[in-house]
Every structure is written in structure tokens, then in C-alpha cells.
Amino acid sequence: MLFYLISILVVLVDQAAKWLVRTHMALGERIPFWSPHLQFVYYENSGAAFSSFQGYGKYFSIIAVVFVAAVFYYRRQGKIRGPLLEAASGFLVGGALGNAIDRVIYHQVTDFLVFGNRGGILNLADLAINAGAILIAVYLLVDHFGHKAAR
């Protein structure tokens, strides 16, 4: 249940935020919010992370669908269990779907979050993917040290 709740919530919040940016900001517009820590900047990315592979975004939507299918497969097999992995996979799937929706509908991803002066530009789906990766790392550390302590 946690997996579905997080996945759906991430997609809904991500798409709502992107809609607000697309309808209320001009492309390239910069709004200082908590300067210098956070700014809103409207950017459209037709590639991948760090604006790499510009113009190849449609292929990343295929990768996202394959990834989501793999997560559902492993969930069905019972290999993704426990609240930490449920949450992690929910964030990963929600983030992947949030960006895939943009790629399919708009042929690019709406980015708008800039952290600090040197950071890249992200969106909420990207943050969810990062959160999922961090939770998997935490799970692996807990699992490793838990097995080590049991010996």
C-alpha cells in the first residue's frame, strides 16, 4: 500500500508543480525564492540529467516504462518487501513516471528547481528519484550491518 500511495502522490504533486510552472512562468524566467539556496527557473530539457543527450528524451520514456515494469515484476515476485523498500520503489516509480509523462506529452521535461549557485536544474520527479536512491542505500547499509551483527 505504501508503494502505491507514494508513487501516485509523487506523480500528482510533480505534474501539478510542472503545470504551475508552465502556466505561470515564462521560459527562462528566474524567481529567487530562498536566495542563494533555492531559485525557481523555468527550463525545458529534451534530454537527460545535466542536459545530456538533448533530443533523445523519447528513448528515456521507454527506459522509464521498462524500469516501472521491472519494479512491478519484482514486487509480484515478493523481492521488494518491507517499508523501506516499498517507500524507495514508490519514490523511484513515481519519479520515473512523472518525467515519462512529460516526455510523452511534451517531448521534453519541465525543470524548475535550482539549489545553490552551482547546482543543476531539477524537478520534483528528479528529487523523488534521488530520495528513492537514498532509501535503497539506507536499506543496503541497514541490511549489511544487521547481518554483520547477527554473526
Report pLDDT for 43: 93
Do β-strands 38-45 and 109-115 pair in parallel, antiparallel, or remain unpaired? antiparallel
**How far is 135 from 102, CA to CA, in rounded Å?**
25
**How far is 45 from 111, CA to CA, in rounded Å?**
7
Report pLDDT for 136: 95
Catalytic residue positions, numbered: 111, 126
* Tens digits of residue pLDDT in 34-76: 878 899 999 998 766 655 556 656 778 889 999 999 999 999 9
Report pLDDT for 59: 76
Helix axes 57-76, 83-106, angle to 10 degrees: 150
Report pLDDT for 10: 98
Model confidence at 4, in pLDDT bands (50, 70, 90)?
A: very high
CB 143: neighbour CB atoms within 10 A?
13
The better pLDDT of the pair 46, 116 is held by 116
Distant-in-sequence, close-in-space partners of 92: CB < 8 Å, separation ≥ 6:
67, 71, 128, 129, 132, 133
Three-class SS state of 52:
coil
* Tens digits of residue pLDDT in 75-114: 999 989 899 999 999 999 999 999 999 999 999 999 999 9
**Is the CB of residue 109 less than 8 Å from the CB of residue 44?**
yes
Report pLDDT for 55: 61
